[in-house]
Structure 1
Amino acid sequence: MSDEANFKKGLSLRFKLITFFVLVAVLPLLAGGIWSIINVKSELIKNTHHSNMLITDQIANQVDQLIKNRIDLAASLAKTTNVSKMDPEELKSLITPIKDYYPDIDVIGIIDKSGRQIVRSDDNKLLDLHDRSYFTEVMAGKEYSVSDVVISRSNGKPIVVIGTPIKKNGGIEGVFQISLILAGLDNILAASKTGQTDYSFITDSKGKVVAHPDHQIAAKRTDFSALAPVETAIKGQNKGSLEYLIDGTSWQSYYCVTPFLKWVVVTQQTTAEATAEANILAQNTLLVLALGALAAVLVGVLFSTMTIRPLNALKKELLSLAEGDLTQNVQVKSRDEIGELAHTFNKTVVQLRELIVGIKASSNQLSSHSQELASSSEEVSATIEEVAGTANEVAAISTQGAENAEESARESEQVLQVAVEGNQAVRQTIEKMGSISSASENVSSAIEKLSKQSNKIGEIINTITNIADQTNLLALNAAIEAARAGEHGRGFSVVAEEVRNLAEQSATAANEITDLIKEIQFGVEEAIRAMRYGNEEVSEGAQIANNAGASLEQIIKAIEKNIAVIKDVADGAKQINEGTQQLTAANEQITSTIQQVSGAAQELANIAFELRNRTERFKVNSSENDQNA
């Protein structure tokens, strides 16, 4: 699959720019709006708590004041002379108009010391109240007593009973009783309402409802002790703000405990109503966000159009570049980053054009050099074959020289044996002096022959040395040509270096063989001189028999030395043979290397051809466009 098929197009630049402008416009507005809503909501809740606090404190004061006023009324009436007389008729005439005057008073009664009512304002049955708390507490010495809230039997409404002492001459004669209807609390609660959902209610110290906007709840004395604000107040926290849930509805409440009665007053409002202004602000914020987003979209469309137009022009030229056309330039008038990008693109195209032209020229030059290197490799290969032939000849001659040296050694040993026998029997030596002379001549002839062969070996070694020098020169030429080829000729440079090293090794081996030949020639010359000396001694031995023993001793020494020299010659011949074998192996290695060089040269030529073909697809001037057309 092509790269274009593999490429999956993502979000367009236009979409990204529009999205960016929308985010830039909306996010700050959104963050500011959320921050404002949170702050406004928090401030509204604070205001609600403060308003609830004021209302609750006012209600608490009014409730306490209402009860205090009726306590004061009861106390002042209890101190009158008519009351202290404890005369039922007089008391009746006193309390009836007072009860009628105060509509929140349900019943006024007078209780004697025994706890029985002696008179009532409503003419109902007189009751025995000796066990009521308000009676017992007052009789025990308290200045007043307020009962728990109870439901009136006469009207079914919550009431409290207030009791104050009736004193005479310092003693308590009875209790002045006022049953106070708590309906007046409803008016206080109604006057405190300011919103749609806010309301206040009152419970006693045990959490049972005393007054509530829903009169049924108050009439039933519903227990609110488990309600969060009431529960908190009952547990000893006299006042505070509290948010809590009832049936999934959030309420902002404020509670306080009345200082006098220790009742609990709660004022609360739904969180929704308390933060209604924040909801309006949220709606306005959404409207502003929508308008900001619309404006951002319009700006994004305009800006993206101005941005994408030059990019599309650059894209068109990039497609031409991908097809190999290096003759085009991008025309962008803007001086921003896109203009810099277009300028850089044009500069890159120029540099790429110059690079392609250079590659074409280099590929042609590389092809030429690779052909020259292949030709040089063939010449070196021919020279190596010639060296191999010469080495084989040297090996054959050295082998023959070794065989002759061994035979000379055997003959010398025979002469030595004869000399020893002559030393033992001088007379027999004299008789056989002729045969000794003949044997000595044979030895001299063999040694002279060995000397000639050594000279011939020296000439061959000179030939090997010349060949090695020539090989070294050819390797140097190959290295120079490889260096000209640059990076592509690095492999040929290594091969040429190996060829030069092998040539130097061949020259070194030839020099060593030359040294050995010189030693052999020196030994041969000494052997010849010794044999000549032996012949002279044999001649003289025939004449001077008395000196035969001494002469034979000299002959023995000379022959022993001759044997050593001959062995050295044999060893030298063997070394020459080994050297020629090494030279042959080196020639084979050089031949293999030359073949690698030839193969590499051919590969270079192929690479140059391929490189030239690949660069042909690029158009670097308008004339090529005309030709292609």
Structure 2
Amino acid sequence: MSEKVTFGISQKLLLILLVVALIPLFSIWFVSYQSITGLTTEKVNQELAAINTNLITHVDDWVDMNQRMLLQNASLQEMQSMNSFLQNPALETITEYYDWAYLAFTIDFDGNNIGRSDGKKNKFYGDRSYFKQVVEGKQFGQQILIGKTSGKPAMVLSTGIFDKAGQLKGVLAQAMTLTKLSGKIINTQIGETGFSFLVDGEGEVIAHPDADMTRSRVDLSNHDAIQAFQQGQSYTVFENSNGEKIVSVAQKTAQGWTMVSQQNYVEAYRLIKSENQKAIYLLIATLIIVIAIAIFVSRSLTAPIRELTKIADKYSQGQLDLKISGLDRGDEIGQLSQSIQRLGTSIRMAISRM
């Protein structure tokens, strides 16, 4: 009686075919995955950086335009006169021509308000940072604040008024809404989940898609993207308060503000997920094909071997008049069949001599 085979040729052949087929496939998949990951990371970073750069250019151009306007008006004789009667018509022209400027005014060297475009009572501005910055020698001063009328962030931009000898006589400033500046930023949509926002040098919001955050000038100095940027990392991946993985890029504007563009990691890297799924489907399909081939091949090999094994068992039991198939095969199975046949013939001849 033959012993039961627990791990026969079929299983061994199947295992060999799986190893031979799957090791190269897994190797190809791993190399492809690494390559796609690298290329996708580069592509995502480039796209976010391009969006960020475009927005920074928009911000810098807008501020630069207003700075050039201030310089041009500060050089007028009316401004240099430091006489409100002469200055006010020019100041009113500024607010009429630039619809985002709601107040243009001048300040003398001591911080006293001289001329105003709105005709209201003069105020003391000597304690304002945009005034101090110019007095301390900067070409331009700036300050972001919440407009008392609009309740939204506004910007005061200032520059010096100099006499013909180059001596500082006062400061020309204009207060502006940030609608034109922030509109492009808050309307930037990156995929379905991404957006951009702008914070000042202190990390307080200037423009953000969330109107409440903009209105309250929320402090985002602890935002992961800003923290990473302060440590020299423009690109970073972090988890937000909802546990979602976010990829972001942060860059500085010419004014020292920080522009951040971010997107959900899963959405940004959806190409990797798609390609990985394709690879998994390919591996599964290959596995099915390999198993089918292995079963077919193993059966074609093991079926005649099992048949010959049964014949050998019957020979041992004295059943010698048996028909053996596969004698005409030109492979090792055929040779084994012929050997079994010769064995049977030899046994019969030996018995006949007894």
Interval of TM-score (by shorter of Structure 1 and Structure 2): 0.7 to 0.9
Larger mean CA deviation between 17-26 and 224-233 belongs to 17-26
Q: What residue in structure 2 maps to residue 272 of structure 1?
A: 266
> Structure 2: which amino acid aligns with 1:156?
G
SS of structure 2 residue aligned to 1:288: helix
Helix, strand or coil for the counterpart of 1:97?
helix
Q: Does 1:196 align with 2:192?
A: yes
Instruction: Please state if 1:242 is matched with 2:236.
Output: yes
Alpha carbons 2:228, 2:236 under 8 Å: kept: no
2:162 corresponds to 1:167 = yes
Matched, 1:55 2:69: no
Cross-structure match for 1:221 = 217
Q: Give the one of 45, 69, 76 matched to 2:72.
A: 76
The structure 2 residue matched to 1:302, chosen from 286, 293, 296, is 296
Answer whether contact 1:14 1:304 (CA < 8 A) is retained: yes
Offset, 1:16: 5.4
The Cα shift of 1:48 comes to: 0.8
The 5 A counterparts of 1:44-443 are 44-147=40-143, 149-170=144-165, 171-190=167-186, 192-235=188-231, 237=232, 240-246=234-240, 247-258=242-253, 260-323=254-317, 330-332=324-326, 333-343=328-338
Q: 1:138 to 1:14 in 2, by over 3 A?
A: same
Work out which of the residue numbers 32, 40, 52 in structure 1 matches 2:28: 32
Aligned residue identity for 2:160: P
Letter in 2 for 1:313: E
**5+ residue gaps in structure 1?**
354-618
Tell me how many residue pairs correspond in the alignment: 351
State the Cα distance separating 1:176 from its structure 2 match: 0.5
How far apart are 1:230 and its partner, in Å?
0.8
CA distance in 1, matches of 2:203, 2:349: 99
1:74 shift after superposition:
1.2
Deviations 1:459-509 (A, max 9, x none): xxxxxxxxxxxxxxxxxxxxxxxxxxxxxxxxxxxxxxxxxxxxxxxxxxx
SS at match of 1:262: coil
What does the per-residue CA deviation read over 1:146-179, in whole Å, with 9 as the maximum and x for residues that have no partner?
Answer: 23x2222221222232111122343333211112
* Per-residue CA distance 1:526-564 (angstroms, 9 max, x = gap): xxxxxxxxxxxxxxxxxxxxxxxxxxxxxxxxxxxxxxx
Q: Is the 8 A contact 1:161 1:179 kept in 2?
A: yes
Q: Calculate the aligned-residue CA RMSD, in Å.
A: 3.2
Indicate if the aligned counterparts of 1:104 and 1:181 stay in contact, CA closer than 8 A. Answer: yes
- Structure 2, unpaired ranges of 5+: none
Question: Which is higher, the Rg of structure 1 or of structure 2?
Answer: 1
Return closer, same or farther for 1:232/1:299 CA change in 2, 3 Å cut-off.
Answer: closer
Closer/same/farther in 2, CA of residues 95 and 151 from structure 1, 3 Å limit: same
Change (3 A) 1:11 1:135: same
Q: CA separation in 2, counterparts of 1:80 and 1:33?
A: 70
Range with greater deviation from structure 2 (314-323 or 70-79): 314-323
TM normalised by structure 1 equals: 0.50
Give the partner amino acid of 2:198.
I
Q: Which amino acid aligns with 1:284?
A: K
AA aligned opposite 2:234: G
1:70 counterpart letter in structure 2 = N
Counterpart amino acid of 1:173?
K
Identify if the C-alpha distance between structure 1 residues 302 and 163 changes in structure 2 by more than 3 Å, giving closer, same or farther: same
Is the 1:99–1:108 contact (alpha carbons within 8 Å) kept by the matching residues of 2? yes
Where is the helix percentage greater, Structure 1 or Structure 2?
1
**Percent identical:** 23
Shift in Å, 1:119: 3.2
Report if the CA contact (8 A) 1:244-1:251 is conserved: yes
Deviations 1:4-44 (CA, angstroms, capped at 9, x unpaired): 6xx56535654654565556555544543443333223211
> With CA pairs under 8 Å and 6+ residues apart, which has the higher RCO, 1 or 2?
2
Contact 2:111 2:125 (8 Å CA) reproduced: yes
Question: What's the offset of the Cα at 1:329?
Answer: 8.2
Give the counterpart letter for 1:253 in structure 2: S
Distance 2:230 2:290 in 1: 58
Listed as ranges, the matches of 1:596-611 within 5 Å are: none
1:110–1:120 Cα contact (<8 Å) kept: yes
Task: State how far apart, in whole Å, the 2-side matches of 1:222 and 1:346 are.
Answer: 94
Q: 1:126 to 1:20 in 2, by over 3 A?
A: farther
Q: 1:242 to 1:337 in 2, by over 3 A?
A: farther
Instruction: Check the 8 A contact 2:106/2:173 in 1, yes or no.
Output: yes
